Amino acid sequence: MSRRCAIYTRYSSDMQREASIEDQERRCREYAQQQAWSVVEEHVVADRAISGASVAGRSTFLRLMEAAKRKQRSFDTLLIYDTGRFSRDLPDLLRNIDILKYHGVNVLSVAEGIDSAQPTGRQMFALQGMHAEQFLDSLRDKVHRGQEGRMLKGLNPGGRIYGYDNVPIEDPTRTGKYGRPAVSGVKLEINPALAAVINRIFTMYTGGMGQGAIAIQLNRGGVAGPKGHWSRYTIHEMLRNERYRGVFVWGRTKKDRNPETGKKISRPTLESGWRRVEVPAWRIVPEELWRAVEERRKLAGERFHQLGGMTRTERGKSYLFSGTLACGECGGSMVICAGGGKRGYVKYGCHAKEALAKHIGKLVLTPVQRDGRPVYKVSGNVSVQPDSEKCRMLVVARDGIEPPTPAFSGLRSTS
C-alpha cells in the first residue's frame, strides 16, 4: 500500500555537521523511493543544533506534531533516520509515537527498520529508546567529568566571568572546527580594567555602601556591567564570587530537567559536596579586603533573615513578606517585581530575571476578618512549607509555570 511520507531530521549541536541533516534526509528519501512511497515536500522539516533530550524548544518538531493532528493531514507516515533523531528521552519517544498513532500517523525508523504500524513496533522503539537515552546519560557524564578535569587543572570549564578574558589553549596536533587547531582548554587571564571595577565595588561595600547604592553609582558613572546594566543582585553575586580571591568552587549547583516543561533548571547543592581548588593566578581582590566584605555580608545576612523587610527603609517595613520568601523552583530569593502604589498590593517573583517566566506561580493574599481581627486568606494552587535552616517559607508553584502570568502576589502589611 502506498504511503504519504513526512520526513523529520535533527542534529544536536554546532559541533556536528550541517551535512548531517542532508545525509538523514537523503537516506529517508531513498527508503521512500525503494518502497514507491511519495514524500510530502511541505513536511520535510529539520531541527538544527537542538538536543533530543526533550521536545521543549524543538519548534519544528512541535509544528509537525500539530500538523499530524489535523483531520485533513497530508501525510500518514513520519520517516526518521533513527530513533535518536526523534527523541533521546524514552517517555517523550513513546508518548509522541502513541499520539501520532492515535491520529493515524505511523513512525518509521529507516536505519533500524522499525515501523510503529507493526504489532511489535512500539516494543522495538522502546528498546531503541532505552539505548538512545543511555547514550545521552553517558554523554552527560563524560561532559561533567571533562569539566571537572579542567577545573582541577585551574582551567575555565565554561562560560564568561566578569573580570577575566577567556584565552583558548590550542592543540596544534589536532584539528578542530573549520580546520583550526583544536581547543584543549580555556584559561582565565585577569582583565586589568575590569579588575579595577571589581576592587572598587568591594571597597565601596566595606566603606558602608549598600548593594543597591553601589549599582546606582556605577550606572550613573556609565560603567558597563556583566550584562550592561548593574543591579543589586549583580553586586550581590559578585561580592560572594570566590574566583576573585583565587578559589574555584565546583559543584555549587546542578542542573535538573523539569519533566513538565523539558527545560533545565539550576538548583543549589549541599555545601558538603562542593570542591574547592586554589588558583592563585585568578586572584583580583586582596585577602584582607575579601574578609572585610565577608564579615559585613555575614552581619547583614543575619540581621536580614531575623527581621526581613524591617531591616530596610520605612517603606520596606510595610511589606509583609520582604526577606521571607524563597522560590520553590530554584531556591532563589523572591522579591517585589510589580505592584504597589494605589492598588494596595505587590507581586513577588524570583529575583533572577531570566528565570522569572519559568518560576512563575500564584499566591494571592486576601484580607478577611476572623474573630474580630484582620487576617490574610491564602489562596492559589501552591504549597507553603517551612524551611528551618533558612527561616524562610518555600513557595512551590504547582501550576501557572507557563505561560508567564502574574507572579506571586501579596498585600502590604497594615500594622
Q: What are the residue ranges of helices labelled H in 35-180?
A: 59-68, 83-86, 90-102, 121-152
Give domain status of residue 272, yes or no: yes
Give domain status of residue 331, yes or no: yes
CA gap 56, 207 in Å, rounded? 47
Final residue of a structural domain among 137, 162, 182: 137
pTM of model > 0.75: no
Residues 117 and 220 in one domain: no
With residue 339 as reference, give the H or E element that holds it: strand 334-339
Residues 284 and 375 in one domain: no
Domain tally, the chain = 4
Handedness of CA 401, 407, 411, 413 (dihedral sign): positive
Q: What is the pLDDT of residue 386?
A: 41
Q: What is the CATH number of the domain that holds 55?
A: 3.40.50.1390
Angle value at C-alpha 174, between 169 and 178, nearest 5 degrees: 85
Check if the beta carbon of residue 412 is closer than 8 Å to that of residue 344: yes
Final residue of a structural domain among 261, 285, 306: 306
Strands of the sheet containing 408-411, edge to edge, are 334-339, 345-350, 408-411
SS3 label, residue 82: coil
Residues 116 and 209 in one domain: no
Q: What is the CATH number of the domain that holds 299?
A: 3.90.1750.20
Q: What is the pLDDT of residue 307?
A: 52
Q: What is the pLDDT of residue 17?
A: 59
Q: What is the pLDDT of residue 360?
A: 42
CA gap 310, 304 in Å, rounded? 8
- The grid coordinates of residue 156 equal 575555565
Final residue of a structural domain among 190, 215, 235: 190
Give domain status of residue 121, yes or no: yes
- What is the distance of C-alpha 7 from the center of its chain? 30
Residues 45 and 133 in one domain: yes
Residues 54 and 164 in one domain: no
Q: What is the pLDDT of residue 270?
A: 84
Residues 299 and 320 in one domain: no
Handedness of CA 168, 170, 174, 175 (dihedral sign): positive
Instruction: Tell me the Cα Rg of the chain.
Output: 27
Residues of the chain with pLDDT under 70: 13-19, 177, 259-262, 303-415
Q: What is the pLDDT of residue 298?
A: 86
- The residue range of the domain holding 400 is 312-411
Q: Give phi and psi for 391, each to the nearest 5.
A: 55, 45
Residues 216 and 299 in one domain: yes
Residues 6+ apart with CB under 8 A from 340: 346
Residues 404 and 335 in one domain: yes
Residues 301 and 327 in one domain: no
Q: Please tell me whether the peptide bond between 386 and the residue prior to it is cis, using omega within 30 degrees of 0.
A: no
Distances in whole angstroms, Cα of residue 271 to Cα of each of 250, 253, 275, 276, 399: 10, 10, 9, 11, 30
- Cβ-defined contacts of 412-415 (< 8 Å, 24+): 412/318, 412/319, 412/320, 412/344, 412/345, 412/346, 413/317, 413/318, 413/319, 413/320, 414/374
- The grid coordinates of residue 192 equal 586589568
CA gap 187, 165 in Å, rounded? 8
Give domain status of residue 178, yes or no: yes
Give domain status of residue 220, yes or no: yes
Check if the beta carbon of residue 342 is closer than 8 Å to that of residue 324: no
Nearest residue to 261 via CA among 399, 154, 391, 156: 399
| Mean of all residue pLDDT scores within the chain | 77
Check if the beta carbon of residue 116 is closer than 8 Å to that of residue 107: yes
Give domain status of residue 170, yes or no: yes
Q: What is the pLDDT of residue 83?
A: 93
Determine the angle formed by the axes of helices 192-206 and 287-307, rounding to 10 degrees: 50
Task: Using the CB atoms, write b or e for 275-291: b if 16+ within 10 Å.
Answer: eeeebeebbbbeeebbe
Residues 233 and 348 in one domain: no
Residues 16 and 129 in one domain: yes
Helix and strand element counts for the chain (H, E) = 10, 19
Give domain status of residue 145, yes or no: no
Residues 97 and 161 in one domain: no
Give domain status of residue 142, yes or no: no
Q: Give phi and psi for 157, each to the nearest 5.
A: -75, -10
Q: What is the pLDDT of residue 9?
A: 94
Q: What is the pLDDT of residue 345?
A: 53
